[in-house]
Chains A and B, each alone.
Chain A
């Protein structure tokens, strides 16, 4: 309790009023307190302002650094477009030369504003490099940072040259014992060749990583039935079989080295018995050509959707009681069919809508009533192979420029085959056509398809391993795979001449 003394000043000193005692120096304390609080307040505001400004500037630094890192990667991409080999591994700076081309410049580049950018390149394979563009800066104690952007470049722009298919050599081969009646093939993942057979194991697998030494693998696997044709989409293998209840079998071939019956994903029972003949796959669609049947509901061309688990569901089908579909070639939304129809050895179906297949039309090779057996299309060049006949040439070349169906003239042009033309393939320049014939003599024929005056023969091979059955040209390695009734043969061209023969 305050006691009145000389230190205190009585104010409003009435017993009816409360007595207030005011100390000397109280105003000073309050003033100091006020100054401190005000100072804290100003400091807080100041820090907020500074932080806000700093954050904005730091953001700007990061944006600029991101563009610089990206620029370094773009420079590498520009260099790759000229020559992939110029992307040497290591740490590089990039700069524009006098010609305005991006080139490496030292091990880093210093940009205005004190940003340093380093492009790091790491080689993975001859066709693949890892890139990282790193930009660092240190402008002040609290203004430093780095931005790292990753990318990868591939050598997809290089031209895959085609050799001289007039000068051909047999690079590798492997024969299959037991008269397997090999029939059709499909290449998977660039390294494995699946071959369908009419007898024996029904399906054979070859490791063709080394084309000079192909190896048969999984020799114990047996399909249990004969097979006609194959299709592959992703890691799913579709087989058209003789099985009356499982005309189409779907297998998982993601690991061909350990492929077995347990990799069976699904089967499909086509109307009728054992009618599946030809297959082609595209994305999550499968198209099947069947053996002709006049029974109701037994259609000859089917479109399926393929589920992730391999299950097939019919989307639509086309009926033609006059035609077995021996081969299908898919080009965009057009399915070209080699058929047995006497007035339509070539037929075309629009498959743009899987649920509404539309037959566009066909072409009647009027000098014969023999079955169309094989078909292939490159650019505007459509090749149709038919059964062997007297007085006719089994290989027919059409020009379909400006449309889907052939509408000669010009063409068609003809080339004699030594037997039924079982399979056709071409090089990507539409210069060379390869076809397999149902004959030992000239079982394989290679022609210059760009020379329509005579379609001159460039090379032929007389087989000692049975008749010709299937051909497949792999453009990436410029190799021709050829299957006879009992062997796989791989052919290589001579050194490229740079032009079509």
Chain B
């Protein structure tokens, strides 16, 4: 009986150690994916701003793919070169990041009123 009990305890301990090791490795991978997702979100934001400067008729509503993830640019509110709202959702692996920015002016230099990472969009109603 005591052997069984000791054996059970030992097995549980071993299993816990294995699971903890596996969880730790997953944690490291999650951190890496989170960093990559953040960079994809920033990349899409920059790309959108540049696109708006070149083409004021650009309205977003576009999915952009990368090697290890993607980002979605929601419908861009407003028209012309002032007062534009941009909302971006980026994904890589199991990580998702959302950023929204409000562009006051695109010319002669870009003037941004706000640039935030958010859990839910507030600037883009349809995002």
Contact = CB atoms under 8 A, between A and B. Distances in A.
Interface residues of B, number: 55
Contacts of B56: 187
B68 interface: yes
Interface in A34-71: 41, 44-45, 48-49, 51-56, 58-63, 65-67, 69-70
Contacts of A190: 54-55
B42 A63 contact: no
A151 B77 CA distance: 26
B57 A186 contact: yes
A161 B107 CA distance: 9
In this complex, which of A156, A332, A429 has the most chain B Cβ atoms within 10 angstroms of its Cβ? A156
Contacts of B77: 282-283
Given A48-B14, A70-B35, A188 B28 contact: no
B81 A55 contact: no
A428 B108 contact: yes
B58 A281 contact: no
Contacts of B122: none
B44 to A, nearest CB: 9
Given A282-B79, A332-B78, A476 B35 contact: no
A90 B18 CA distance: 42
B95 to A, nearest CB: 12
Given A56-B20, A234-B59, A429 B42 contact: no
A283 B47 contact: no
A86 interface: no
B110 interface: yes
A160 B108 contact: yes
B39 A151 contact: yes
Given A60-B28, A154-B50, A190-B54, A149 B18 contact: no
Interface in A76-94: 77
Interface in B54-68: 54-61, 66-68
Interface residues of A, number: 62
Contact of B28 (A63, A151, A157, A280): A63
Nearest to B54: A190
B14 A45 contact: yes
Contact of A52 (B17, B60, B83, B109): B17
Contacts of B75: 283-284
Contacts of A158: 109
Interface string A142-184: 0000010111111111111110000000000000000000000
B48 to A, nearest CB: 9
Interface in A358-381: 378
B76 to A, nearest CB: 6
Nearest to A474: B56
The listed residue with most B CB atoms (<10 A of its CB), out of A45, A151, A186, is A151
Contacts of B83: 331-332
A49 to B, nearest CB: 6
A429 B107 CA distance: 8
A83 B106 CA distance: 18
Nearest to A155: B50
Contacts of A233: 57, 59, 79
A475 interface: yes
Contact of B110 (A61, A151, A156, A429): A156
Contact of A331 (B14, B22, B82): B82
Contact of B108 (A70, A161, A282): A161
Contacts of A150: 36, 39-40, 66-68
20 contacts: A45-B13, A51-B17, A66-B31, A77-B42, A149-B39, A150-B68, A156-B110, A157-B109, A160-B107, A160-B108, A233-B57, A233-B59, A280-B79, A281-B79, A283-B76, A283-B126, A330-B79, A330-B80, A331-B80, A428-B106
- Rank and list the top 5 A-B pairs by shortest CB-CB distance, nearest first: A55-B21, A59-B28, A62-B28, A428-B107, A52-B21
Given A330-B79, A429-B108, 12 more contacts: A45-B10, A54-B21, A55-B21, A55-B22, A55-B25, A59-B25, A61-B28, A66-B35, A70-B35, A154-B49, A190-B54, A428-B105
Interface of B: 10, 13-14, 17-18, 20-22, 24-29, 31-32, 35-36, 38-40, 42-43, 46-47, 49-50, 53-61, 66-68, 75-83, 105-110, 126
